[in-house]
Amino acid sequence: MKHTNHTETSLKSAPGRALLAGVDSIAGGAAFLGDLFVVAIAIMLFMEVVLRYVFNAPTVWTQDVSITFQVWFTYLGMAYVLRQRQLIRITAILVFLGPNGRRVMEFFSLVMILAFSIMAVVMGWEILADSIRLGRRQPSMLAMPSWVNELPMMLGFALLAVQALAELIRLPFQPAPEFSPGGEHSDEEGVL
């Protein structure tokens, strides 16, 4: 798929352009927060290596906190990845479709993402509520509350659902997606 900035094209003509821009900003902010979690993980793991192998004084919290941050950054980035059209997709058939066919397939993909995201939020809420009600804890050194690792899944899919809805609203106002028969990186790497 050609990587173009759809924001300028779609926001000029799509209804509710300020709302759509707000959705994009929230997705971008969540992705930025996820980036900070990645940096924090790198710092914590570096610190753990130094403490463990240089000072022979390992921590008990680094692994648990790093895993928690990893869960958070994974889910926080989903809406941004959708907005940037960087989700994994199979384009073997799409390259042979005309603009209307590609647009229909894009619509179908976005509806599936929206439906799955809503289902994940509803089910995630039930799991999260049970964890809080029952006081579940992770079987680890810190015994962190389970909801700490369950909340990002629900938030991430909620953001993904809102972003999918925004992309559905934009869809009629932007060009049909384009795919290269050689793959997305064929132009950059010389692969045909």
pLDDT recorded at residue 16: 84
pLDDT recorded at residue 10: 43
Q: What is the chain written as a DSSP string?
A: -----HHHHHHHHSTTHHHHHHHHHHHHHHHHHHHHHHHHHHHHHHHHHHHHHTSS---SSHHHHHHHHHHHHHHHTHHHHHHTT-S----TTGGGS-HHHHHHHHHHHHHHHHHHHHHHHHHHHHHHHHHHHHT-B-SSSS--BTHHHHHHHHHHHHHHHHHHHHHHHHGGGSPPP---TT-TTHHHHT--
Going from N- to C-terminal start, the domains of the chain cover 15-183
CB 165 within 8 A of CB 180: no
pLDDT tens per residue, range 119-167: 999 999 999 999 999 999 999 888 999 999 999 999 999 999 999 999 9
pLDDT tens per residue, range 63-106: 999 999 999 999 999 999 999 988 887 777 777 888 888 899 99
pLDDT recorded at residue 92: 75
Tokens 């809080």, located at residue = 132
Whole-angstrom distance, CA of residue 58 vs CA of residue 44: 11
Q: 40-49, 107-116, 140-149: which has the minimum mean pLDDT?
A: 140-149
Mean pLDDT of the 44-70 span: 94
pLDDT tens per residue, range 1-44: 444 444 444 455 555 888 999 999 999 999 999 999 999 999 99
Q: What is the pTM of this model?
A: 0.82
Q: Regarding predicted confidence, which is higher, 188 or 98?
A: 98
